[in-house]
């Protein structure tokens, strides 16, 4: 395999990368960076995945976030935009739209 090495990086062409992919992944896992080139021009870089952040502790944003008491309250102005009037409930408990009389 004719590879170009510089310190902790290596450059391979696409054919070499496909042929020796498993070996290249082992080198990446050991800390090397692999540059994949097409016609001598770099097009991609293989790098190791960083460590996962782990679990976040419960309550880490306590006091930073709040939800208003009326966040779920109906907004008559918004309802009017959609329905031309606020929704009401008929005797059977089903929602119906109030219509304006002509």
Q: What is the CATH number of the domain that holds 39?
A: 3.40.1620.10
pTM over 0.75: no
Beta bridge partners of 45: 35
- Residue 24 included in any domain: yes
- Residue 32 included in any domain: yes
- Residue 42 included in any domain: yes
For the chain, the domain total comes to 1
- Residue 20 included in any domain: yes
Task: Please write the tens of the pLDDT for every residue from 5-54.
Answer: 556 789 999 999 999 999 999 999 999 999 999 999 999 999 999 877 78
DSSP E strands in 4-64: the ranges are 4-6, 9-13, 33-38, 41-46
Q: pLDDT at residue 86 above 80?
A: no
Spatial contact of 25 and 47, defined as CB atoms under 8 Å apart? no
Domain residues for 18? 4-46
- Residue 57 included in any domain: no
């Amino acid at each position: 395999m004719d590879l170009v090495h510089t310190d902790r990086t290596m450059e391979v062409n696409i054919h070499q990368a496909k042929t020796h992919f498993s070996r290249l992944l082992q080198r990446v896992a050991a800390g090397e960076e692999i540059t994949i080139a097409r016609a001598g021009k770099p097009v991609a870089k293989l790098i190791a995945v960083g460590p996962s952040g782990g679990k976040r502790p419960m309550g880490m944003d306590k006091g930073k976030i709040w939800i208003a008491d009326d966040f779920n309250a109906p907004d008559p102005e918004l309802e009017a935009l959609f329905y031309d009037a606020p929704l009401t409930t008929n005797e059977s408990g089903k929602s119906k739209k109030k219509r304006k009389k002509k």
